[in-house]
Chains A and B, each alone.
Chain A
Amino acid sequence: MPKMIEVQNLSKHFREHVAVSDLTFSLEAGEILGFLGPNGAGKTTTMRMLTGYMPPTDGTIRVAGFDVFEEPLEVKRRIGYLPELPPVYLDMTVRGYLEFCARLKGLRRKAVKSEVDRAEEATRTADVEERLIGNLSKGYRQRVGLAQAILGSPPVLILDEPTVGLDPVQIIEVRELVQSLAKSGEHTIILSTHILHEVTELCQKALVIKGGRMVGFDTLEGFRRRLVDGRQASLEEIYLRLIEAPGIDPLSGEKTAAEASPQVPPEASPEGAEKNAGVDSPSEPSASP
């Protein structure tokens, strides 16, 4: 299967501050990735670079074979993106907003109506479609944001903390929605979240970053085999191990990944791990000045 998302040596610096450093991973079509890391680890920055909102300082991103920097429009056509705060217009009705988004995504006039209907149904926002978004609760706004992301069934979905700030019922609803999207197999999904069992439930792989550096990228099974000797440890335990690894040297974490990679299942990207191993040394000086 072709790689849907390929990220190579991705770095982002804000003046002196290094937000993301030397991130390399790839996803195949239909894979669901849980994107984990403490607040400020660079998750949102990475997602913004993937969607073409920000240019990387260094490195390349290819989505469905198109380079984000060279052919941004082709990439943007293929990505549905839900930012951290739902990007909604408070002065618009739900329907008006979704129709606007559908037109922006280049859907034909006839397709606009049916797509908006479909997205509203999927996110259960049809009953508020005539209301102004400014008058909706946070949960509904989040769902409207999600509806916007799935308009036009883009092959890649990037969801930045879709369940943050929702009540338990809403969290379950959004999770079910993401699950149904995942099951359809039409989407490659990158999901950032702090709720770890969400990742266990939804995702095939997890990518953990810390301080802008990747400390782990594997399937849950792969992590277990490597870090806890195959014990049925929860993702929480694995996550804590990755984040609070003694010595706090993220590179050593990456090296572990490279060593362990031959044993991981075929689709669990030994390729990604190799790249990590390959870029270990050149990345060091770039971070130190």
Chain B
Amino acid sequence: MRNTLSIARKELSVYFTTPLPYALFAVATVFTGFFLVGLIQKFQRLCQLAGQLGQYIDASFLNLTDFVILPCIQQSGLLAAIAAPFLSMRLIAEEKRQRTFELLMTAPVRSVELVIGKYVSGCLILALTVAATFIAPILLDRFSLGVQGSGVDWSTVRVAFAGLLLWTAAAMALGLFISALTDSQAVAAIISLLVFILLWVCGWVGQGSEGIVGTVLGYLSVPEHLEGFMKGIVRLQDVVYFSSLVVLGLFLSHRAVEGQRWV
């Protein structure tokens, strides 16, 4: 436990002495800003349209949470898929390249402590990166205070955000494993990016295919499993999906680190 904390602490200090997390935070905030502005403009147009057609349709389904905040959080999931490789790539690959892996493997530390320490620190930075998205509900909450109270449905937003965090946790575990397989950060980043994007888009292919292939691809698809969270519903199958990815990633990372001894 102490070793895990020491390793996590060192990882965090190394992260923050490199410009990488700051660059990611900047990218995340800028993207969120663009999306937010775009979504608000779209929402505005919808509201105007609904106003003109007021007598024909019921405009009560138009609300900030469903039309602005949740899409914003959803896009943040893709942002996480793109940011995660940059954070996970160095975790173990860099140790091998710098020869510091020898230090860790000859210190009285268990591989599992090493893996968890690395994982926790990576998760923390990635969570901070996607937390930039949280500007959306906070801003809108401040500006949408009306007669009916806040325009933000916080309970839904919280669940959506929890779903997003689950996805970042899963991505980091898989990224850690891929980083443990190579001593090149670039290779680790490219392969992780490939895996995350595939996990993100395989559902689209799945929708087009028939039979078992379509079903399996659908099950593997990340957006499919985020969908429930984005509606404010916690479904057991989604929680199981993401936690299985975390467990699988950590287990494989541990195996890969242990396997270094057996070359």
Contacts and interface: CB of A to CB of B under 8 A. Distances in A.
A104 interface: yes
Interface in B70-119: 98-110
A90 interface: yes
A253 interface: no
Interface string B1-27: 011001101100110011000000000
Contact of B107 (A55, A96, A105): A105
Contacts of B17: 91-92, 132
Contacts of A148: 103
Interface stretch (A80-88, A114-122, A206-214, A235-243): A80-88
B262 interface: yes
Nearest to A100: B10
Contacts of A48: 102
Contacts of B100: 87-89
A87 B97 CA distance: 10
Nearest to B3: A104
Main SS of chain B's interface residues? helix
A51 to B, nearest CB: 4
Nearest to B7: A104
A52 interface: yes
A101 B261 contact: no
B241 to A, nearest CB: 35
A52 B14 contact: no
Nearest to B16: A91
A103 interface: yes
Given A89-B98, A91-B14, A91-B17, A101 B106 contact: no
Contacts of A51: 106
Nearest to A93: B17
Contact of B2 (A14, A81, A89, A106): A106
9 contacts: A52-B106, A74-B108, A77-B108, A91-B14, A96-B10, A103-B2, A103-B3, A105-B107, A106-B2
Given A81-B103, A88-B98, 20 more contacts: A14-B263, A52-B106, A55-B262, A73-B108, A81-B106, A83-B99, A87-B100, A87-B102, A89-B14, A89-B98, A92-B14, A96-B10, A100-B9, A101-B107, A103-B6, A104-B3, A104-B104, A104-B107, A104-B109, A105-B107
